[in-house]
Structure 1
């Protein structure tokens, strides 16, 4: 996914939620990332070990952005919190492999 994106980031959305944003380089990359057969609640639930029903995905075509939110595994600042600001949660999403055959269009990657 990182190859399609200008930036992939994560942050707190309050003490009990994480939000991740994928800023795609262009409309072609957005089409790949926004495709519900590629990136959906089931995929995010598997990557982050959260309940599929709790995942929220917002696709914003006018900005070439996909935004994803889900409950934090533990509350922010709790004894078991390993990432106080949720700043590292984006890594599994950024490393998500785009399946062969998905095209961003002329001149794009992959």
Structure 2
């Protein structure tokens, strides 16, 4: 298996307002993107599992023209609230990095 962090151009996260975070997975090679896409690994159910939220709360977008996937989901703790350790949501992408891709 290949880990996503070894083949994706970027895996990143950022706030989508104070109550949500957006995750981006991007490729810079169309053939590689299509190979990963064909596996069906990157899907809303996986994002829900990785981030411990119901799948119904994952807004998932596959965007082939940009060789990318985007998922928006609720933050466990609102940005800037007591207990929040990532005000900008910029460190929330870590669970994506070790996704096993069977290519």
| TM-score relative to the length of structure 2 | 0.87
Q: Cα distance 1:63–1:18, how it changes in 2: closer, same or farther (>3 A)?
A: same
Q: 1:32 to 1:19 in 2, by over 3 A?
A: farther
Instruction: From the superposition, tell whether residues 34 and 69 of structure 1 become closer, same or farther in structure 2 (CA, over 3 Å).
Output: farther
Query: Unaligned stretches of 5+ in structure 2?
Result: none
1:11 aligns with 2:14: yes
Residue 56 of structure 2 corresponds to 53
Structure 1 unmatched ranges of 5 or more: 103-110
RMSD after superposition = 1.6
Greater share of residues in helix: 2
Q: Could you tell me how far apart the structure 1 residues matched to 2:38 and 2:19 are?
A: 27
Alpha-carbon deviations, 1:63-94, whole Å to 9, x = none? 11111110111111111212111111111102
Deviation, structure 1 residue 28: 2.4
Question: What secondary structure does 1:29 align onto?
Answer: helix
After the TM superposition, which segments of 4 or more aligned residues of structure 1 sit over 4 Å from their partners?
none
Partner of 2:27: 24
Q: CA deviation at 1:35?
A: 4.5
TM-score, length basis structure 1: 0.82
Number of equivalent positions:
100
